[in-house]
Amino acid sequence: MSLVTPQSWQESNRRVTREFQQFGLRPVDETEMPRRCNGCGVDPPTAFLTAYAPGKFDPAGARAAEPVTVNADNDGYFRASQNSEDALLAWQYADNAWATVRGRTTITSERDRMLELARALHPTDPTDIRAPLSIPNVPAPMPLTEISVDRGNYGTTLEFAACGSTDVSGAPDCQSESGSMRVQIWPADGYAGLITEQNSVPTQIGGRSGIVEADGNNAAVQVQPGMLVVFNLSGPVGQSATPPKASLTDILATVSWAPDPGSERTWPPIADWAKLN
């Protein structure tokens, strides 16, 4: 699906999982921080548009709110914000499939602004998400569970684990009970703060010179100026003495890069080498 962002909005980030796609946005004239904000950073999203896969959203609570029209007569429901509660717009976009907009400030809680954002969603338009690399040798128990694209300082993150996070970024137990891997594609130069160079040794990652930490669970490669890729492999949370069962060395051995990492047109769609699980 795709979102044609209205001119009065700007997209901050995007999350894609098997169960939902979520867009974080803020109006260009936004002046507030989102409700319940604690360390939100600079210009955080103040509204979230989430499109759920069929059967992954229970509309029972939303149906108790005020009926509104999104794309067809009374196909949605609007609940105004109360105290610290977010405003909510929910509507059915396909059979047993729902989408929501959550407004977290005064502006983004206005019904007309929320309807504007809802109508910008195009559920039937496919959109490829691309990355400058492919990683075909990820262990079966650790599939790709989430793609996160940040328009600011954090770049693109690929999460591999037994299961994915929830639509409010909650981590279910299955994430902490098994190993996981994070691949971060940073718009950055240099390893400082991301990997410990003094405890690392040179290595080749997809034919490019990088480094890997002595424990073999963290590696990085400066692909080109302004593109640093960091690989982090973790064992079960709370069992720090237990190393990950997967081998980062084996995973890195099959990494390949786009013909021209500086040109997104040459990047392969992630769906070509990985399927969200």
pLDDT in 10s for each residue of the chain, 277 residues: 899 999 999 999 999 999 999 999 999 999 999 998 877 878 899 999 999 999 999 999 999 999 999 999 999 999 999 888 999 999 999 999 999 999 999 999 999 999 999 999 998 888 889 999 999 888 888 899 999 999 877 899 999 998 777 776 656 666 556 678 999 999 999 987 788 888 899 999 999 999 999 888 999 999 999 999 999 998 775 544 455 567 899 999 999 999 999 999 999 999 999 988 7
- In angstroms, the CA 244 to CA 240 distance is 9
H or E segment at 249? helix 248-252
In single-letter form, the type of residue at position 174 comes to C
| pLDDT at 173 (0 to 100) | 62
- In angstroms, the CA 49 to CA 234 distance is 31
- In angstroms, the CA 276 to CA 144 distance is 5
| pLDDT at 242 (0 to 100) | 52
| pLDDT at 91 (0 to 100) | 97
| pLDDT at 240 (0 to 100) | 47
Residues forming beta bridges with residue 159, ordered by sequence position? 146, 182
Query: Domain 2-122 carries which CATH code?
Result: 3.30.200
> What are the domain boundaries of the chain?
2-122, 133-272
Find, among 54, 98, 56, 102, the residue nearest to 78 by Cα: 102
Contacts of 245 by beta carbon, 8 Å cutoff, 6+ apart: 139, 141, 179, 235
| pLDDT at 13 (0 to 100) | 94
pTM for the full model? 0.88
| pLDDT at 28 (0 to 100) | 96
| pLDDT at 41 (0 to 100) | 79
